[in-house]
Structure formats: C-alpha cells, structure tokens
Structure 1
Amino acid sequence: MINHQYTEANIRSLDWREHIRLRPGMYIGKLGDGSAQDDGIYVLFKEVIDNSIDEYVMGYGKRIDIQLTASQVTVRDFGRGIPLGKVVDCVSKINTGGKYDTQSFQKSVGLNGVGTKAVNALSAHFKAQSFREGKTKVAIFSQGKLLEESPIQDTKEKDGTLISFEPDPTLFNNFRFLPHFVEEQLWNYAFLNAGLKIYLNGQEYFSKNGLLDLLNRKTDEESLCYPIIHMKDTDIEIALTHNNQYGEEYYSFVNGQFTTQGGTHLAAFKEAFAKTIRDFYKKDFDATDIRASVVGAISVRVQEPVFESQTKTKLGSQQIGPEGPSIRTFINDFVKRELDNYLHKNPETAEALLSRILQSERERKDIAGIKKLANERAKKASLHNKKLRDCRIHYNTTHKDRDNSMVFITEGNSASGSITKSRDVQTQAVFSLRGKPLNCFGYTKKLVYENEELNLLQHALNIEDGLEGLRYRKVIIATDADVDGMHIRLLILTYFLQFFPELVRNGHVYLLETPLFRVRNKQKTLYCYNETEKQQAIQQLGKQPEITRFKGLGEISADEFKNFIGTQMRIEPVTLRKETSIHQLLSFYMGKNTQERQNFIIDNLKIERDFAEANAASAKVLESIS
C-alpha cells in the first residue's frame, strides 16, 4: 500500500517571481515562440504598452516611442512617470500599483499590479526607468531579481517611464518578435485612442477617426455594400458595414484590450444589431441572414471589468460598472437609438443594407437542400472518415493542452503516412487530400457542399457555422517544396480565403517547413532547410559528407519526421497585410490568366536548380498573403 504523507514539510511558500516563473500560463497564457499572435511574448509587450496607454487615457502624454528587435523591446512614454520612490516596488512587488486607486486610473486596461511584474519575472533582462519633475531613477533586473538600483539623479528628460525587456530564452525557446503581429497590436491601440501618436522604430501609427479608420483599413472600399456606419458616445463606439465575403468578422475591445474571443459585449452587440434591423424593416429576418458578411467593430469602457482569463481575451462582466446598467441593456439601448436614427436619415444606406440581407436569404435557401444532403453524408463519413486521422485533444474543449491541438493538411498517402506514423496522437491530427483540390475562386459556397472532399474538410475543422467550434488551434498546410506542392498550398489557401477568411485573419493557418537536405557523416546528421544551411553543414562536417535531397515529404521516414513536427517544428503563420484585398489577391493569382499575371510570371521567372530555390521563389508568390 502506497503511503502518501502530507505534512508541514509538503507545504511550500513561493515568492512572487518563483510563482510566475513556475506557472507562467496563469499570467500570460501559452509561452510559444512568437509564431502565433497570442504567444506569450506579445502578451508581455502588451502589458508594458497598456501602462503607457492608461497614462494617455488619463490625459498625460500624447506620444509613445517603441524600439523593437527580434528579441528586445524598449517602450518610452511621456506620462507622469512612476513615483521615484516606488520604481522598484511597482515592477517587482505583487499587489503594488496605482490602479487600485480608482481616482488615479478610471477604466484602465493594465493588470492592476500584476502585468509588469510578470514581464519582469519572465525576462532575462528588464530595465525600468522613471523621469519625474527633473529627476530620474533606474532599476535593472534579471528573471525578477534586482541587479542594480541607481540613486535618484537629476535629468533634463521629459516626464515619463521607460521600460526595456528581453524575454527569457530558457522559457521562450527560439522566440522572435514578428513585426506584423506587433504592428497589428499598435494599430489597434491607435484606433482605440484617437489622437495618440505611437512610433515603432520611427514609423508612426496614428488614427483620427477611431473605429471608422479601423474598418477602412480592414476592408476594401470597392467590396462594401454601403458606406461604413460609425456611431460613438461616452464609453461606447461602434462601426459596421456589409461586404461580399463569407462569414462574420468582428473586432471587439474592452478598455482598449482586444478581446479576441469576444464576450458579453460582443454577444450583446450581435443581438442588438439583429433586433434593431428587424424592428426597422418590420420583418422577422433570420439573424444569420442579417449578420452574414457583416464586418463590425465595437469598443466599450467598463469600470472594474471581469475577464474570463488572465490574458483578457474574453469579457465576462455583466455590468458596465458597480452601479450602472447591464452591458446587454447599455449596448441594446445605444444600438437601437443610434442605428435606427442613422438608417432613417440615410435611406440609400438602408436600401443597400436591406438588399444585402435579402441576397443572403436567397443564398441560404438556395443551398439548403444540398447542404442537408452533404451534411448527412459528412456525418456518415465522420464515423469512418479515412481522410482524417484525428487526435484526442481539441481546441473547442476546456482541456489544459487545447492550444497545442493542430491538424496537418497533406496531399497523397505517402506524405500523410509519414506524418501519421510520427505524430503525437494526443494533439496532432492529419487530414489527407486526394490530389490537387479544386480552385475555388469565383464559386459560391454551394461548391463546398457539392465537393465531397471540401465538405469533409470543413466538417473536420468544424467551421461551417463560424470559428466558435474550431477543433484545432493550428491548421498547418504540409506540402512538398516543389512546384506542385506550392500550387497545392495556393489552392488550399484559396479555399480558406474564399469561404473562411476569418480562419486566416484570426491566425489559425500556418505553413509547415520541412528540411530539404540531410547532410551526415558517421558521427553526426544535420537537417537543412535551405541552401545556406546546407553549405554551413558541409563546412561543419567536412570530408565530403553524404548529402541527400528530399524531393517530397514521403521520402522522409517516420523516424526522421518526428523531429520536424515536435518541439523544434518550424511553421510560418499566414497573415493578411493591411493593404490586402482578398478579392483582388485571389483574382490576380487564382483568376483568369490575364496579361498582368503573365507579365508578373515572366518578370520573376528563373530556372530553379534545387528545391531550396523553388521554395524561396514560391514565397514571393505568397508574399501578399503571408
């Protein structure tokens, strides 16, 4: 019989830094390497910026300067500056901060005494410097331990705070800050704080019109059914329109925080929008028809908000404030009043909006029959789906490892066979395509239900009705690094961008990088992902090592493949640039063979000597997408 002793000796007390470093997920979510937008290093960045934003919201400092490298961040604001006698305490003592004083910070976004401490504890190098009334003080830390504290000195610098940090590489393996993820964060800050100027490595981020500017940046004017509706009042701002893409697209914010998983405020907005439209047109439209192809943004400010996680991605609050109305009532009253007034004053917009709803209604009824049959086939196939080798842990559950859930989309039995044999069956699934998928550009969603393979793929991902039930955190396209493999990549991306663009916008789609060369001698084996790495390996091993060039994923044995889809896996996120119009992008690359595209191919064509060069060339084709 096992004797489990439980005595005073089993009780441990951790100091603040030990607790954060032992359980970082409680404070910043998953660690990650920076390849995903919700990786921990971007949460660290956000926590530092949030403090500077709170200063601006309180009326202090209209400029924030940021210096960013692949591994280090420095943020300088021009707010009031941390009180000099509390610089060390504010960044290293839990439950110490100015945001407990509601007179100093109203409706702040900062972590109320925890955020900067988490950054400090999880950084290999952390520097805090305050400038205040002609005086300055510096404190330097490593992994939360104070290394150096300067005395208070004179300075000619303007008031404010400087924070510099470098995430700890022992916690964040092979991490790097990807500029486009940081840029997206900064644009959101600019849109939510009209008038604030933010500079990243000298580039300005500035918005004059708030969420109106956000939707202008996120949409293509030519695809809009009517001009963007912009409504604003104390503690609430909303912008919305309809375009011709599939799905619903929302950007929701609370106290300046981008709530990527929505929450009570977004649910209230969607409900209020549908109700107001029904009342205005005096027709009982289906809510899915009203919201189909909608693009919307909502920002609210709440006193003492309650989030469903430490990283604040979903609002749980039911009230605007301790003595205020419910969030549902507050948003419903605002939308009913402002949107109804707007539609009465702008009959052309009202007519265009009605036309878009009726079009969605016709499309839904048009595919209703075939959708039912396709779903029945998919349901039967799911019981014996030979295309899908599923995993045990899924993203749409509450499992602690849900963020590690992923699916590899492969082409052919040989490639899927290698991955299937070497994968982690707990978190890694494989979906195998049969040959090249259909080019979906220009088709309606009816095609998805008519094409058995595409229908099975949407059911495997569980994205038919949106991303709420998405089964995998990462959807990874795994194809050969040759011309055919690159073409398959583009065809799969076309399918997602045409019918499920929110899957790409929300950072769920990735490209798998696999080695192109194996260089080895009797003592050592090195795997190389490009020509440069191959030459470096040859120099390292010397004496004419054996060189193997992999022509496809199927040539890599399962024993070898497990090294490339484990902790050292290389994946590149597929992201949409601010200037990218999905319709124009797909029209150029996947539409008819226009003279413009012929000229592009001729100008960029070169004879490829090996697959490394082919892979690099294909990246140029994908440049507008990822």
Structure 2
Amino acid sequence: MAEMNFDYTEESIRSLDWREHIRLRPGMYIGKLGDGSSPDDGIYVLVKEVIDNCIDEHTMGYGKHVDITIQGKTVTIRDYGRGIPLGKVVDVVSKINTGAKYDSKAFQKSVGLNGVGTKAVNALSTYFKVDSFREGKVKTAEFEKGVLIKEHKEAKSTEDNGTLITFIPDETVFKNFHFIHEYLDNQLWNYCYLNAGLVINLNGKRYVSKNGLLDLLTRKTNPDELRYPVIHLKGDDIEVALSHNNDYGEDLFSFVNGQYTTQGGTHQQAFREAYVKTIRDFFKKDYEAADIRQSIVAAISVRVQEPVFESQTKTKLGSQTVYEGGPSMKNFVQDFLSRELDNFLHRNSQIAESLKKRIEQSERERKELAGIKKLANERAKKANLHNKKLRDCHVHLNEEPPAKNKDAFIEQQNNSTIFITEGDSASGSITKARNVETQAVFSLRGKPLNSYGLTKKIVYENEEFNLLQHALNIEDGLEGLRYNNIVIATDADVDGMHIRLLIMTFFLQFFPDLVKRGHVHILETPLFRVRDKKETIYCYDESEKQAAIKKLGGKPEITRFKGLGEISPEEFERFIAADMRLQPVILEQGEHIQQLLEYYMGKNTQQRQEFIIDNLRVELDLVEETLTR
C-alpha cells in the first residue's frame, strides 16, 4: 500500500466563524433542509425560530399579537414586545452566544435557550433585515447570507415597540422551496393553543384560542367519531386534553414551553405511562397498556425551567426533571393525572363508562388478532431474512444516534426515506439510483388489496401488507418508525394512480397517524424531457414543457415518459436526490377519514355516482371547448 503524505500541522486546523459553520452544516441547526413539502422542512423551522422569540416576549407579558406576511418567498414577522435593545441589534442576530435568554430570570421557561435561532435564519437567508422599535426610536440592520451589508443609524419612529424581521431563505440551500399553507396553518394554531389570548395574523387570517388544548383536540377530531367528550385538565405548568375515537393507534400531541415536540420525549413518555397507571388504579383492573392507549387522541403541554432538547430543532425533550431539584418528569405527570383525571372520572361516571367500553373493545380486538398475528409475525420474521421486496438503507429514524458525529447522524435520520414502488423495472431504476445511506425501496407485486372497510386482521393475513408493516416497523405505533419519509412512487397513468389510492387507503385505514404527522408523500417524476445538443430540461406538466420548448427554441427533442421504468437510473438519480419533488399527502382539518374512504374507495357509493354523472364530459364537449378558447 502506498504511503500517504499528509502533514498534520497547525495549518491543518481550521476554525469556522459562526456564519460559515451554520452554512456548512445547516442540518445541525434546522434539521432536514427539504423544499417545503414536509412539515419538518427547514423553511418552516426558520419561520418558527423567529416566531419563538415573539412568543417568549408574549410569555413574559409583552405583546399580545404577532403579524406575519408571506408573499412568495419573502417572510415578514412583526411582534409588539419590548424590541431588541438598540445598541445590541446587530449582535443579537449575528453573534453566537449573544441574547437575553442566558439570563434565567428573564427567560426561565423560554423555548430557545442557546441564542442560535435568529442567527441561523440570518446565515441561511439571501436577505435578512431586522428593525427594532424601542421608545420612539428605530435601529435597522441588513444582511446577506449572514454578512452585514448595511447598519443604519438610529432614527426617530412613531411605531409601537417591538421587532420586525424580514428574510428570504437561500435557494442554494433550500432548492425549489415553496411554503405550503396547511403546514403554516398548523404551526400557527399550535402557538395559539399554547398561549391563550395571543392573536397571530397571517396574510390577514386571524388565529386565536381561548381554551388551549381543548381547542386543539376539537379542531383535530370530529365530534361524531369521539367516544366521549374531550376531557380537559389544567394545573400549574401542565395541561392535558384527551379522548378516544375509532382510529387505530395513538394520536399524541406533546408540547414543552410552547414548542411542539414532534418526536415526543420524556414528557410524552411520562404521560403514556401515567395515563395507563391512573386508568388501572381507577377501574381496579390490570388492563393491557396497549388496550388502554389504543385509539386515544390526546395532547399534553408542560412548562419546564431550562429545558434540555436532544437537537437544536427542539423536537424531542430530554429533560428528566421539571426544574433543578424539583420532581422528575415521570412523577410530576403521574401526580397530576392520578389526582385530576381520577377526580374527573369519579365526578363523570358516564364518561368513565364510555372510556371503559372503548378499552374493553380494544381488548376483544387484540385477542381476536392474537392467533393470526403470531403466525403472520413468524412468516414476516422468516421473510425478513431474505426479503426481496425490501432493499434497505443504512440509517434509520428509530436508531439511537452515536455519541460521535451525532448531529450529522440526526440530519441523515431526518432524510431517511422509503420508496414504495410497483414492478421490477421501476424499483430497479430507483434501487440503482438511490442513496444507500438514507433511501430504501419496497417493491409491490401488482395492485394491492382495497382495504377499505376491512379490519386489522387483513394486515396480518395479507403477506404484502404484513411485510410493509414490518418494513416500516409501525405495528406497535409510530415510536419505532424506521423512515421519516414514506414516498409512494408509481407511474402517472391510471393504473399507477389506482395503486397510489390503494396504498393511501391502507395507511388511512390502519395507520392514520402516518398521514396526520406528514410522513406520507407522492413522488413527482417528470412527464417530459425536452433537450437539444446544449441543454436538457425535465418537465413535470404541459406548461413546463411549453416553457422549455420556448427557452430552447428551434425544434428540440421531446420525450414523453409513460412509466418510471422508462427513466434510466442515471436520470433517476437527480429526481430522488437534490431535485426530488414530493407532493405531501395532507389530511385537511375536520376531515372524516371513514367518510373520505367510503366516498373514494367504497363500492359505487351514491355520492360518487352522482358526481361522475354531473361532471362527465364527452369528447365532443372537449373539442367544442378547445375551439372556443
């Protein structure tokens, strides 16, 4: 082996400044980058980091409303708090370890404790502007990619106290990004649920909540699908709302100091355990934990002094105690539920009886499944040893990050993806083109079964469904989910659309939390390739094709892709790498899952028949419409 000549000297050591470090490793600060098609993509984290500062001001008693404007790719956020001290405006948004949140007296239960938030937004924006209004004066500073380009002198102002931040995310970091209204909508509602009375305005729409987590569950559920009215309990530094419906799994929303912890943490686990113990003690029966929590929909919010999170994006709480020297998180939540929930159930015997019936229904369903579940799991275990359907990747969402390079590993976990595709040719192209570190492929054999109206028994009886369930590791809930992104990759023809619907039906019927939590996406692949000798342009619809033809001029070569198998692995690589376009599967608030499935996947429902008849357009109609354009 040839000897490598590498001098390890003082010149080998390089120190990055704050801006370079954030831009070199953005995932350490904002999680996955993405294009906005996932709710945890970086552009929403940028918005959140700025709003978090507004919320902290509100929590301290300053500023009752926040105004947000998002026009195209420009974000403007105005709070009416105290404003940044004018002499420190530049430092606060451009110097790491600078901020008021290190003073625990000022921000004892703040969301952002590390003074990084707005600096990350600044460094990852092509343009960033801060205006601080304070006691009749204004101080303004402008930046490009974290570099100060203009610091304005203090000037007089008639504006109310507060801070105005304007930024444009950097398109070289967030490629082809766009904001999806539903994700922003959820983000802002969560702020309002956790800060009763706070008013947020987004592009003229007003968000405000009077009843906290009760409003959250009311919005997230359908009253006619709940087994009993929402139980709403409040105490010092803790609030809980819960009910049961008829969906499978557990639907839990957890919050710390106003921060939505999408990956849970010590407070969510404490709630799961404390709820089970309280129910067992109340009914004096040793119910299975899974039966007690099956079909639960609940939200818990706690306030913690100096919270410890497992990553900069603050999506998983690691704090073991509520405050230094105080009770453990487990005991704190347990004491609250054993007192408040127990009292509530004693006072509301009808609700207690409904809850008991729901638990006993889950118990019966579990026992009915026990036999077939055991056989199916044995078959799946054998199949996993030589599972030809799954080409797995190396990094999975449910793995414990190593101590070394932890942040880089978490960044890979956020990007972990499984493509569900049809046929050998399509799965072959994706398999050859994928990133083996973070992208897995699961191959379907033909069209899967229409699972609408079937019980969970079919998940175990159907080999394909059972193997998919095991590949995702979601049999016992989302805590063990192996991939952050589940991408349905089918042809854009009628058969491909049908397979897409059948897979979505499977998820909505048996694992609705996957959709509700934004894990399920549709892969968009180009319909056309337009090229000449100098340039190749891939187009996703007719309008993009026409624009490409106009751009190239002359008579470019146009290829129409009919299926995924027609796209070479070399071409496919760009469609599932940096330029991947994903269409998120979004369940609108208040949507009745069972009604939705019945309409689209039921057997010739009357509503669907009437819609088709009313909207049927024959060829002659289309010709006449074309001629009149």
TM-score band, normalised by shorter chain: over 0.9
Question: What residue is the counterpart of 2:34 in the other structure?
Answer: 32
Indicate conservation of the 8 Å contact 1:396/1:470, yes or no. Answer: yes
In the TM superposition, what whole-angstrom CA distance separates every residue of 1:78-128 from its partner, at most 9, and x where no partner exists? 111111121112111222111122232230112442211111122111111
Q: Which of residues 436, 451, 455 is equivalent to 2:447?
A: 436
What CA distance in whole angstroms lies between the structure 1 residues aligned with 2:535 and 2:87?
Answer: 56
Question: What residue is the counterpart of 1:496 in the other structure?
Answer: 507
Indicate conservation of the 8 Å contact 2:254/2:264, yes or no. Answer: yes
Shift, 1:302, TM fit: 0.4
5+ residue gaps in structure 2?
402-408, 621-629
Question: What residue is the counterpart of 2:517 in the other structure?
Answer: 506
> What SS is found at the alignment partner of 2:495?
helix
Question: What residue is the counterpart of 1:563 in the other structure?
Answer: 574
Q: Which of residues 587, 590, 595 is equivalent to 1:584?
A: 595
Q: How does 1:179-194 map to 2 (within 5 A)?
A: 179-194=181-196
CA distance 1:84–1:604, shift in 2 (3 Å): farther
Question: What residue is the counterpart of 2:151 in the other structure?
Answer: 149
Question: What residue is the counterpart of 2:605 in the other structure?
Answer: 594
What CA distance in whole angstroms lies between the structure 1 residues aligned with 2:164 and 2:550?
Answer: 44
Question: What residue is the counterpart of 1:52 in the other structure?
Answer: 54
1:534 aligns with 2:534: no
Could you state the TM-score of these two structures normalised by the residue count of structure 2? 0.94
1:487 aligns with 2:489: no
What CA distance in whole angstroms lies between the structure 1 residues aligned with 2:26 and 2:256?
Answer: 23
What CA distance in whole angstroms lies between the structure 2 residues aligned with 1:525 and 1:152?
Answer: 51
What CA distance in whole angstroms lies between the structure 2 residues aligned with 1:148 and 1:606?
Answer: 59
CA distance 1:254–1:558, shift in 2 (3 Å): same
What CA distance in whole angstroms lies between the structure 1 residues aligned with 2:183 and 2:433?
Answer: 31
1:425 aligns with 2:436: yes
Letter in 1 for 2:444: L
What CA distance in whole angstroms lies between the structure 2 residues aligned with 1:342 and 1:206?
Answer: 27
Indicate conservation of the 8 Å contact 1:212/1:228, yes or no. Answer: yes
> What SS is found at the alignment partner of 2:478?
coil
Q: How does 1:272-291 map to 2 (within 5 A)?
A: 272-291=274-293
Indicate conservation of the 8 Å contact 2:423/2:444, yes or no. Answer: yes
In the TM superposition, what whole-angstrom CA distance separates every residue of 1:424-482 from its partner, at most 9, and x where no partner exists? 33332221212211111111101101111111111111111112222222111111112
Indicate conservation of the 8 Å contact 2:66/2:79, yes or no. Answer: yes
What CA distance in whole angstroms lies between the structure 1 residues aligned with 2:307 and 2:116?
Answer: 15
In the TM superposition, what whole-angstrom CA distance separates every residue of 1:197-236 from its partner, at most 9, and x where no partner exists? 1000000111110000000111111110100000001210
What CA distance in whole angstroms lies between the structure 1 residues aligned with 2:614 and 2:136?
Answer: 58
In the TM superposition, what whole-angstrom CA distance separates every residue of 1:165-185 from its partner, at most 9, and x where no partner exists? 111222222222222211111
In the TM superposition, what whole-angstrom CA distance separates every residue of 1:363-385 from its partner, at most 9, and x where no partner exists? 00000000000011111111122
Letter in 2 for 1:256: G
Shift, 1:484, TM fit: 1.8
CA distance 1:268–1:373, shift in 2 (3 Å): same
CA distance 1:147–1:136, shift in 2 (3 Å): same
CA distance 1:418–1:605, shift in 2 (3 Å): farther
Q: Which of residues 341, 345, 348 is equivalent to 2:347?
A: 345
Question: What residue is the counterpart of 1:467 in the other structure?
Answer: 478
What CA distance in whole angstroms lies between the structure 1 residues aligned with 2:93 and 2:568?
Answer: 50
What CA distance in whole angstroms lies between the structure 1 residues aligned with 2:41 and 2:303?
Answer: 25
> What SS is found at the alignment partner of 1:164?
strand
Moved more, 393-402 or 245-254: 393-402
Indicate conservation of the 8 Å contact 2:275/2:337, yes or no. Answer: yes
Shift, 1:607, TM fit: 6.1
Letter in 1 for 2:295: S
Q: Which of residues 535, 546, 549 is equivalent to 2:557?
A: 546
Letter in 2 for 1:119: V
Question: What residue is the counterpart of 2:15 in the other structure?
Answer: 13
What CA distance in whole angstroms lies between the structure 2 residues aligned with 1:92 and 1:369?
Answer: 61
RMSD, aligned CA: 1.7
CA distance 1:271–1:412, shift in 2 (3 Å): same
5+ residue gaps in structure 1?
610-626
Q: How does 1:265-304 map to 2 (within 5 A)?
A: 265-304=267-306
Question: What residue is the counterpart of 1:74 in the other structure?
Answer: 76
Question: What residue is the counterpart of 2:87 in the other structure?
Answer: 85
Q: Which of residues 457, 463, 476 is equivalent to 1:452?
A: 463
> What SS is found at the alignment partner of 2:131?
strand
What CA distance in whole angstroms lies between the structure 1 residues aligned with 2:25 and 2:457?
Answer: 47
Indicate conservation of the 8 Å contact 1:129/1:162, yes or no. Answer: yes
What CA distance in whole angstroms lies between the structure 1 residues aligned with 2:23 and 2:619?
Answer: 48
> What SS is found at the alignment partner of 1:312?
coil
What CA distance in whole angstroms lies between the structure 2 residues aligned with 1:222 and 1:444?
Answer: 20
Q: Which has the higher contact order (CA 8 A, sep 6+)?
A: 2
> What SS is found at the alignment partner of 1:488?
helix
Shift, 1:54, TM fit: 0.7
Question: What residue is the counterpart of 2:266 in the other structure?
Answer: 264
> What SS is found at the alignment partner of 1:563?
helix
Shift, 1:75, TM fit: 0.5
What CA distance in whole angstroms lies between the structure 1 residues aligned with 2:507 and 2:228?
Answer: 25
Shift, 1:3, TM fit: 4.4
Question: What residue is the counterpart of 2:100 in the other structure?
Answer: 98
Indicate conservation of the 8 Å contact 1:58/1:106, yes or no. Answer: no
Letter in 1 for 2:599: F
Question: What residue is the counterpart of 2:625 in the other structure?
Answer: none
What CA distance in whole angstroms lies between the structure 2 residues aligned with 1:414 and 1:3?
Answer: 46
CA distance 1:470–1:53, shift in 2 (3 Å): same
Question: What residue is the counterpart of 2:624 in the other structure?
Answer: none
What CA distance in whole angstroms lies between the structure 2 residues aligned with 1:443 and 1:589?
Answer: 15
Identity of aligned residues (%): 69
What CA distance in whole angstroms lies between the structure 1 residues aligned with 2:328 and 2:424?
Answer: 55
> What SS is found at the alignment partner of 2:112?
coil
Moved more, 294-303 or 381-390: 381-390
What CA distance in whole angstroms lies between the structure 2 residues aligned with 1:552 and 1:144?
Answer: 44
CA distance 1:272–1:608, shift in 2 (3 Å): farther
Letter in 2 for 1:166: I
In the TM superposition, what whole-angstrom CA distance separates every residue of 1:113-153 from its partner, at most 9, and x where no partner exists? 22111111221111111111111111111111211122222
Q: How does 1:111-126 map to 2 (within 5 A)?
A: 111-126=113-128
Indicate conservation of the 8 Å contact 1:405/1:474, yes or no. Answer: yes
> What SS is found at the alignment partner of 1:409?
strand
CA distance 1:226–1:430, shift in 2 (3 Å): same
